[in-house]
Structure 1
Amino acid sequence: MHIVLDDTAMAAAGRGNVLASRLIHRAHVEVGWYLYAPACALVEADRARPGTAEHLAALPGIVLLDLDLPAALAVAQQNTWAAAHCQYAAQPTPDRPDGAIIATAAPGRWIGEPVRVLDLDP
């Protein structure tokens, strides 16, 4: 299971969202569960809720995704860096042939986008 946390999911995890906490726990203890935190989304989450970036970066079950050149080129074509980096991270890769699901506390923002969404809004 490959899941990308968007900025709203990251901020929700910091506020004690039970569903986000369960995802983090599963990624830490279960083989085959991967949680990704794109750098641009991490910055936005920290702006919305200071301390979020340091907290998530310290968790062993979360893989931080750098803004490498292919990601930067994808981000440059969009209006918001956080959403663009998440959408780029969710696309299929050789390691993730089916792509990844985007976990979000704001599912409406992904309507019309070519991504699968996991709604964390209780």
Structure 2
Amino acid sequence: MVAADRGNTLVSRLIHRAHAEAGWFLGAAACALVEADRVRPGTADRLTALPGLVVLPLDPVAVPAVARGRDWADAHTEWAALPVPERPDGAVVVTVRPETWRGRPVRVLDLGRGDTEGHPADPGGRTL
């Protein structure tokens, strides 16, 4: 989220796609949004104003899992990306810090070097 606020080109393209194309949306875990705003004040205001962004609340079922995590932002993001009946494949974690997600049960799109399988970081594909 901080990368988006700093003008990362690939993140900007992804945000544009979520706004411009039907069926695309970006979810932001509330705890991650709070942490991004602590790192770069004003980030939450700017990102929540985007029409293609959905803020994912910290629901009661997620609280125990997030509370056990070392980092609430990453723990909430992981929880939000896990498979659920509406998204049997889960969601993709978009990051510029892929090393943080190694060994975790989520799919990752590295906007710095490509995804964890070496595919280029092109948000234009419908594989997200």
2:97 maps to: 106
**Hey, what's the Cα distance between the residues in 1 that align with 2:51 and 2:6?**
19
In structure 1, give the amino acid aligned to 2:38: R
Structure 2 length normalisation: TM-score? 0.85
Question: Which structure 1 residue ranges, 4+ long, deviate > 3 Å from structure 2?
Answer: none
Determine whether 1:17 maps to 2:30: no
1:59 equivalent among 25, 31, 50: 50
- Structure having the larger proportion of residues in helix: 1
**Hey, what's the Cα distance between the residues in 1 that align with 2:105 and 2:3?**
23
Greater relative contact order structure (CA < 8 Å, 6+ sep): 1
- Contiguous gaps of at least 5 residues in structure 1: 1-9
Identity %, equivalent residues? 63
1:3 maps to: none
Q: Secondary structure of the equivalent of 1:87?
A: helix
Determine whether 1:86 maps to 2:77: yes
1:69 equivalent among 55, 60, 66: 60
Structure 1 length normalisation: TM-score? 0.89
**Hey, what's the Cα distance between the residues in 1 that align with 2:10 and 2:62?**
28
What value does the CA root-mean-square deviation take over the aligned residues?
1.0
Instruction: Give the aligned length.
Output: 113
Mapping of residues 30-41 of structure 1, within 5 Å: 30-41=21-32
Q: CA deviation at 1:95?
A: 1.6
**Hey, what's the Cα distance between the residues in 2 that align with 1:39 and 1:17?**
21
Deviations 1:16-65 (A, max 9, x none): 00111111111111112120011100011111111100001110000001
Q: Considering only CA atoms, is the larger Rg found in Structure 1 or Structure 2?
A: 2
**Hey, what's the Cα distance between the residues in 2 that align with 1:53 and 1:109?**
22
Determine whether 1:29 maps to 2:14: no
Q: CA deviation at 1:68?
A: 1.1
- Contiguous gaps of at least 5 residues in structure 2: 114-128
Q: Secondary structure of the equivalent of 1:117?
A: strand
